[in-house]
Amino acid sequence: MRKRYENLDGVVNDQSFKAMSQWQKERRSKVKDLTIQIPQAEVKEIAALQQNHEKATITWIGHSTFLIQLDGLNILTDPVWAKWQGTEKRLTKPGIEIDDLPEIDIVVISHGHYDHLDFGSIRRLKGNPIFYVPDGLKKTFIKRGYNKTFEANWWETFEIQNLRITFVPAQHWTRRTLFDTNSSHWGGWMLEDIPSEQSIYFVGDTGYFRGFKEIAKKFNKINFVLMPIGAYEPEWFMKISHINPEDAVKAFIELKATSFIPMHYGAYRLADDTGPEALERLYREWEHLQLNKEQLCVINIGGTLWLSADKG
């Protein structure tokens, strides 16, 4: 019998067929303007990223895909360049074409949903990366020939060079076929550059949950939080598994982190909200709570945040 994974406190995403039908009925009644999209970066620093082996950077490719450069390593989160998710066509182009990436050293996967784990994209990556995946997914990678794969349960840690990688909880679920629901785990990844004490928390895909407070207790310093803000509408259906912008801000405050970088919006129409709507709600909540504007780091698609002042 397959192991089935669970959320904290036994929280379950068990929406019925009736609830799914109700959501689809609501969706047909809504009119959304999908011609207005979130912006692409005007300048894409592709050559500088390809040549960079020293500076720390964060580049948003789109959705939950980032190129992160730490300790001279090229790291990808949830690499997805797919043009389609089911019947929904991608709304915004990836910020950097997959062929323009440098050689990848590490890939971290948050969970097995197709908008986070796309083997068509993984096959096209340059280099010979190590894959860090949730417990239950390793066999899926090994079957495809990716033998440098390590799987983790929550709080398990790996070290490579000067980088510490820890798998942390999230509130979600997963499925890739009709018969494998929750047969692999889900979560986020904390990336810590030990010498510089620079830390980046890739949240993955999640609803709001008490796990954020636990993560804050275990990590004294979190510099950058890559936080999802989209795919929350209708909230009565999505709330368990997808955090809305207001709760994302609440979670950020609980994490006591330095900088908030939004993600998981504007690439695919996975729910009824749009990318511009999610971003507008984020800005509005930030202003409502009178938070420091410098702590909100919205990266345009294809944009790069250089974590060191001097790019060389």
pLDDT of residue 65: 98
| Percent share of the chain, pLDDT over 70 | 98
pLDDT of residue 167: 99
Distance CA 167, CA 186 (A): 9
pLDDT mean over 266-271 = 96
pLDDT mean over 219-247 = 97
pLDDT mean over 292-307 = 98
Q: Give exposure, 260-289, as e/b (b: 16+ Cβ within 10 Å).
A: bbbbbbbbbbbbbbbbbbbbebbeebbeee
pLDDT of 309 over the 50 cut: no
Residue 179 exposure: Cα atoms within 13 Å on the Cβ side: 2
CATH superfamily ID and name for 46-306: Ribonuclease Z/Hydroxyacylglutathione hydrolase-like (3.60.15.10)
pLDDT of residue 143: 97
DSSP alpha helices (H): ranges in 30-166? 46-51, 119-122, 138-142
pLDDT mean over 145-171 = 98
pLDDT of residue 308: 66
Q: What are phi and psi of 25, to 5 degrees?
A: -65, -45
Sign for the pseudo-dihedral over CA of 121, 163, 305, 221: positive
Any idea where the domains of the chain sit in the sequence?
46-306
pLDDT of 25 over the 90 cut: no
